[in-house]
């Protein structure tokens, strides 16, 4: 009897797993597709031209689904950054080698003057105590950073402080990675060992690892790494600033994939902009778990701020968080009379609301059923020509980008990246006859051999989750995969603490969308980027005979 019960159970489980795997495979495939597109696409003027960026995002979406059914690839997490190419030249306003040289020369003159009463006799070599606040120290550090980290642009340094001993100094600085497509700044602090040369110039003899300058850790920069997206941190008390609002109640997009959510959310943002209204945003939302990890159900309790940079959104347009809005409503008694509720959202277009004078326009999606209760339906048809989705307002969460930058830091901003797509595709010999063998550790190792120098850092972006799968590559390279950096989101990590601050102390799971965001961003940051399709294998991305 026992075995009779067990058999159908395991069959069902197996079926569920197979379906889950298929979905995940699809998800990865689409992520890959988009990544390639993002890598190869070089738009001329990314930030200024928002209309063009909206068109590009539409193209990105259409690459994935030519009809907006969202039945496939719901798990894609696209942001405005994905349509942009990274800047590969020095950013305006960052510290250049000329700046560092000037600073060094000024410092040198001052030192010589001090040490020798104006006479140019040089410095005494026994001068082993390094004075960290001497401008010459900072100039030497700036110079060495420029040489050692060409992938980042430094914008501002704090005055170095004493490091671990008399020869070392710790310093914090503000930087932006060249391959970062947003305009955000980050912070690093490292320990430098220096000597004072007889010429009175400081030389750096050793550069510490990522975040090694512990004594400089507390030197803060205004606005850097400080998250300003906690709701209680602000409140519109001024009744003159009440303004007008647009509110979308929860619709059929709730508990769907991220891609559908974004497509819908951006429609709402676009309409609010068009109507010059403040969008009421419910930060709490629900995602479909099955896109995220195979076999999962719906996942409520997500916070928009886990995924996107809410600070940036708030700076870009007028939004108000739902709870704040409710408070405001009560306080100013906005009540029912000044609210227009729309139930037929497919019929009532934004254009018809242009002259609406109610304080609040509420699009209620409760009365209709799928697919009419999808938010994005508001932006379909004629409206499509009028409303532009403001993609440029959506950046990936800085909390996630901090993980990306930490991994880059640990790899000394000097690594190559390989995308190894396996999963369902590798298992499907009919459509991808060679993928499995072409992406084995041995095959990848031999493919990399001609292209990447031995001992380089190599980051592998992959959906292969078997631990140690790429172990063989360690013979020749310093390889790592995302799971090697688990600590960065594990209990007690910065990310863990910072996301818990948004959930009143409830631990947040590092989910598939977050993994994807970090893993694909890491791939884009690689110096050399080696793709699965076209590089590792001659199989086609979309199956046999599609390329
Ligand atoms: C478009 O829709 C049709 C029918 O609804 C479906 O068969 C097809 O797979 C869809 N295309 C994509 C790329 O999802
Ligand atoms: C270190 O350098 C700073 C700046 O040049 C100077 O003001 C300070 O007196 C120096 N400290 C020592 C101990 O020499
Ligand atoms: C946080 O946001 C508030 C309101 O917009 C602003 O006044 C404040 O300067 C911000 N703080 C930081 C550190 O950016
Ligand atoms: C929104 O404001 C802009 C500029 O103030 C104006 O040109 C536009 O007509 C306004 N739109 C609506 C719907 O009021
Ligand atoms: C996170 O919080 C825990 C407990 O408050 C603390 O011990 C830990 O140092 C924090 N981690 C970081 C990276 O700040």
Q: Write out the DSSP string of 322-346.
A: HHHHHHHHHHTT-TTTTEEEE--TT
Contact 502, 306 (CB under 8 A): yes
* Single pTM value for the model: 0.81
Each of the 547 residues of the chain gets a pLDDT tens digit; together they read 334 444 444 545 555 555 555 544 444 444 444 443 333 333 333 334 556 666 666 666 655 443 344 433 334 577 878 777 666 677 788 899 999 999 988 888 877 666 554 445 567 655 568 899 999 999 999 999 999 999 999 999 999 999 999 999 999 999 999 888 888 899 999 999 999 888 888 999 999 999 999 999 988 887 776 777 877 544 555 444 568 999 999 999 999 888 889 889 999 999 999 999 999 999 999 998 876 666 788 999 999 999 999 999 999 999 999 998 988 888 877 666 689 999 999 899 999 999 999 999 999 999 888 888 999 999 988 898 899 889 889 999 999 999 999 999 999 999 999 999 988 889 999 999 999 999 999 999 999 998 999 999 999 999 888 999 999 999 999 999 999 999 999 999 999 999 999 999 999 999 988 998 899 899 989 999 999 999 999 999 888 888 8
Residue ID of nearest Cα to ligand 5 atom 1: 492
496 alpha carbon – ligand 5 mean position (Å): 9
> Would the CA dihedral through 120, 126, 131, 135 be positive or negative?
positive
Cα torsion through 487, 492, 494, 498, rounded to 10? 130
Distance, CA of 184 to CA of 408 (rounded, Å): 16
Q: CA dihedral in degrees (289, 290, 296, 301; nearest 10)?
A: 10
The SS3 call for residue 220 is coil
Q: Rounded to the nearest whole angstrom, what is the distance from the C-alpha of residue 495 to the centroid of ligand 5?
A: 10
Residue corresponding to tokens 């059929």: 252
**What's the token pair of residue 520?**
């694909």
Cα gap 515→518, rounded to integer Å: 5
pLDDT at 54: 63
The residue whose CA has the least distance to atom 13 of ligand 5 is: 494
Could you tell me which residues come within 8 angstroms of residue 155 by beta carbon, excluding any fewer than 6 positions away? 91, 93, 94, 95, 173, 174, 175, 176, 185
Q: Check pocket membership of 492 for ligand 5, CB cut-off 6 A.
A: yes
Q: What residue's CA is closest to ligand 1, atom 5?
A: 69
Cα 179 to ligand 2 centre (Å): 38
DSSP state of 95: P
Nearest ligand 5 atom to the CA of 494 is 13
Q: Is the CB of 487 under 6 A from ligand 5?
A: no
Of 285, 262, 289, nearest in space to 81 by CA = 262
Complete DSSP assignment for 280-307: EE--EEEEEHHHHSTT--EEEEEEHHHH
Closest ligand 3 atom to residue 228 Cα is 1
Which among 420, 463, 524, 522 has a CA at the least distance from the CA of 36? 524
Structure tokens at 300: 């409520």
- Residue 413 CA: distances (Å) to CA of 183, 259, 276, 457: 18, 30, 43, 9
Q: Euclidean distance between the first and final Cα of the chain, in Å? A: 52
* CA 261 to ligand 1 center in whole angstroms: 19
360-363 vs 245-248, strand pairing mode: parallel
Spell out the alpha helix ranges (H) of 65-193. Answer: 97-116, 135-148
* Cβ-contact 174, 224 below 8 angstroms: yes
Closest ligand to residue 271's CA:
4
Q: Which two tokens stand for residue 110?
A: 């001052």
Say if residues 188 and 211 touch (Cβ distance below 8 Å): yes
Strand order across the beta sheet in which 339-342 lies: 319-321, 278-281, 245-248, 360-363, 339-342
With 0-12 / 13-18 / 19 or more C-beta atoms within 10 angstroms meaning exposed / middle / buried, residue 70 is buried
Q: Which atom of ligand 5 is closest in space to residue 493's alpha carbon?
A: 13
Atom 5 (ligand 4) nearest CA: 276
167 alpha carbon – ligand 2 mean position (Å): 15
Q: What's the token pair of residue 476?
A: 């020749």
DSSP character for 362? E
Residues 6+ apart with CB under 8 A from 430: 544
């Amino acid at each position: 009897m026992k075995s009779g019960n067990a058999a159908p159970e395991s069959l069902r489980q197996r079926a569920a797993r197979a379906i889950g795997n298929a979905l995940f495979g699809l998800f990865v495939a689409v992520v890959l597709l988009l990544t390639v597109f993002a890598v190869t696409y070089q738009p001329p003027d990314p930030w200024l031209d928002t209309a063009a960026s909206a068109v590009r995002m539409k193209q990105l979406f259409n690459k994935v689904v030519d009809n907006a059914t969202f039945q496939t690839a719901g798990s894609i997490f696209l942001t405005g950054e994905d349509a942009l190419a990274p800047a590969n030249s020095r950013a305006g306003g960052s510290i250049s080698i000329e700046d560092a040289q000037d600073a060094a020369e000024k410092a040198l003159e001052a030192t010589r003057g001090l040490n020798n009463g104006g006479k140019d006799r040089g410095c005494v070599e026994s001068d082993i105590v390094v004075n960290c606040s001497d401008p010459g120290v900072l100039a030497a550090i700036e110079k060495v950073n420029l040489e050692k980290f060409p992938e980042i642009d430094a914008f501002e340094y704090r005055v170095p402080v004493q490091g671990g001993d008399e020869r070392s100094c710790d310093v914090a600085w503000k930087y932006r990675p060249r391959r970062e497509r947003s305009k955000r700044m980050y912070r690093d602090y490292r320990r430098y060992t220096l000597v004072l040369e007889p010429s009175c110039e400081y030389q750096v003899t050793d550069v510490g690892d990522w975040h090694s300058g512990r004594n400089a850790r507390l030197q803060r920069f205004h606005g850097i790494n400080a998250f300003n997206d906690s709701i209680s941190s602000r409140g519109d008390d001024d009744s003159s600033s009440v303004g007008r609002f647009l509110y979308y109640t929860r619709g059929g997009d709730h508990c769907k994939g991220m891609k559908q959510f974004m497509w819908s959310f951006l429609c709402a943002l676009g309409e609010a902009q068009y109507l010059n209204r403040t969008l009421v945003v419910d930060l709490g939302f629900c995602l479909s778990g099955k896109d995220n990890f195979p076999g999962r159900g719906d996942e409520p309790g997500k916070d928009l701020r886990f995924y996107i940079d809410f600070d940036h959104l708030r700076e870009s347009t007028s939004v108000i968080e739902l709870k704040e809005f409710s408070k405001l409503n009560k306080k100013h008694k906005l009540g029912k009379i000044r609210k227009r509720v729309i139930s037929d959202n497919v019929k009532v277009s934004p254009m018809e609301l242009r002259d609406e004078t109610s304080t609040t326009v509420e699009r209620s999606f409760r009365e209709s059923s799928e697919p009419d209760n999808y938010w994005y339906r508001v932006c379909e048809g004629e409206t499509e020509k009028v409303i532009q989705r403001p993609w440029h307002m959506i950046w990936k969460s800085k909390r996630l980008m901090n993980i990306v930058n930490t991994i880059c830091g640990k790899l000394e901003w000097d690594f190559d990246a390989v995308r190894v797509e396996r999963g369902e595709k590798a298992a499907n010999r009919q459509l991808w006859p060679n993928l499995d063998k072409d992406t084995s550790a041995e095959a990848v190792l031999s493919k990399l051999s001609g292209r990447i120098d031995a001992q380089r850092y190599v980051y592998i972006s992959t959906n292969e989750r078997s631990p140690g799968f790429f172990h063989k590559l360690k013979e020749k390279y310093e390889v790592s995969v995302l799971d090697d950096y688990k600590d960065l989101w594990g209990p007690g990590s910065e990310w863990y603490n910072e996301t818990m601050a948004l959930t009143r102390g409830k631990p947040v799971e590092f989910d598939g969308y977050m993994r994807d965001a970090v893993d694909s961003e890491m791939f884009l940051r690689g110096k050399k980027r080696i793709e699965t399709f076209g590089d590792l294998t001659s199989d086609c991305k979309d199956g046999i005979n599609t390329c």
